[in-house]
Structure 1
Amino acid sequence: MTIRAVVFDFGGVLFDWNPHHLYRKLIADDHERQWFLDTICTQAWNTEQDAGRSLADATRSLIDEYPHHHALIQAYYDRWHEMLLGPLPEGVAILTALHQANMPLFGLTNWSAETFPYARAHYPFLQIFRDIVVSGEVKLIKPDAAIYHASLDQVRAHLPDIEAREVVFIDDVTGNIEAAVALGWQGIHHVSAERTAAQLRALGVGF
């Protein structure tokens, strides 16, 4: 088996994104902040925007439901860039090394179509990718099989004869890796850059 393309997830692999980075500035008490993010501006709510719902609709509906938290809810997307602390250097180092070794690289990320342009504009390493599937743009989301099919179609636009087993996907969420593996891809659950690099080399990827 030969790996002919590597597909990267972004959050937790290449980017340090976390709502706590913003809300520590807005809610001083740890328990109160955790309650707010677990109960109101939840990850499940954010995922709806990653799947294509507009930020304005999402914000309006949540404010209607929790009017007493209007200011905190409004801040979520008004100050979203403060949640994106920046790149994870060790993950980006793997990406860069693979690029220098001429490995075709692709992105597959759950990310809002409205916030992803900020990342494109501020993080030049994203230009390394030959192509990127952004969930909010295609209105599909991991771990649904359809988004992996969209990603493989994108890879095949560059490498027409590639097979699923010749693609390896790197993601920090176990369920996302399991979904890829179920479709015949190779998968690496990203726990640390060191382990990911070792698993890539075990698959025969030289860099």
Structure 2
Amino acid sequence: MSKEILDSIKGASLEAILDIEDFEALDWVWINRELFSDIVFNLKLDEAMGEGALEQLLEIKDEEIFKVLEEPFRQKGYLPMHQLIFANLEKGYRPTEDIQTVIFVKEKKHKQLSIALAKEYEWVLKSMAMDTYFRMGLNYTSLKESYEDLYEGNSRLIEQLLSEGEVSYLTGKWQYIRKTNELYFYKTDEYHSSWTEGEALSKFRELHHR
């Protein structure tokens, strides 16, 4: 029955899934387990598959539900975004701590948020470039070359760091401390340095022009 439920959700329109007629004014929509019973009701899955449809749906991993929802949302011009990343950029949104939530964001707004994300966390990428160039012994001739080749504009790294709390490259590992907005660098699990935004931007500016 689980496959039938997932196929039913994937093949339904977003209007039917969420019982919303017009998505024009909605720049973003949150989805988590609290809405699963509504989805069963809206799609009349209990009528088609029996009263156990909700119980079956709740036994399916959240990630699988989110995955099948991507297609209906994509057809309406929405892209998924990790809620912790979204919370960093959307004023007023508070991430859920006790339940997994995904935010689906309209493509235009998603692009705007991605640009804002890259700008806000540029200092993180510059910190990583300095750690890589000065502490990891790679064959780069300058800090500028290291930054441009590995980190400049690399929003994927920022997204991974914000959503998972850490990111690794070769023998290096960076941990982001959200509460203090600091970045810690470890090489082969040994602590080497920490950065704040001001320190990173100032040091990078100084070293970049040498």
TM-score w.r.t. the length of structure 1 is 0.29
Higher strand share: 2
* Larger RCO, structure (CA 8 Å, separation 6 or more): 1
